[in-house]
Amino acid sequence: AQTVTQSQPEMSVQEAETVTLSCTYDTSESDYYLFWYKQPPSRQMILVIRQEAYKQQNATENRFSVNFQKAAKSFSLKISDSQLGDAAMYFCAYRGPSSNYQLIWGAGTKLIIKP
């Protein structure tokens, strides 16, 4: 069975600095998708970034980028120029190759931004 592990329950970073959130996963599939979702205090789940396993190039979305290491089954999220609005829970999620597959979630990392 697939699993997703986020080993950092909480991270803090100074405003304008860079922070990296870690995520590892376990799967026997060769084709799959990985996601980072942000959950602010409102508790809405917001997609931050996604990565297709068949793509070697790391995904980027403005200040957010990932370091996808397929062999190591690692998928970290880097947030550059951290802003107060980035404070939230961040969840790493895995989805298998088929579109109807469920998302499998990590436990989340609480990101604190220090002004």
Residues binding another protein (CB under 8 A): 33, 35, 37, 42-47, 50, 52, 91, 93, 95, 99-108
From CA 69, how far away is CA 114, in angstroms rounded? 29
Read off the amino acid at residue 48.
V
In the bound state with another protein, the residue whose beta carbon lies nearer, of 37 and 68, is: 37
Amino acid (one-letter) located at 44: Q
Instruction: Give the phi and the psi of residue 29 in degrees, each rounded to 5.
Output: -75, 155
How far apart CA 60 and CA 115 sit, in angstroms, is 25
Please say which residue, 65 or 94, places its beta carbon nearer to another protein. 94
- Least distance CB 26 / another protein (angstroms): 15
Which H or E element spans position 51? strand 46-52
Shortest distance, position 7 Cβ to another protein, whole Å: 13
Q: Minimum CB separation from another protein for residue 8, in Å?
A: 14
Residue closer to another protein (CB basis): 35 or 82: 35
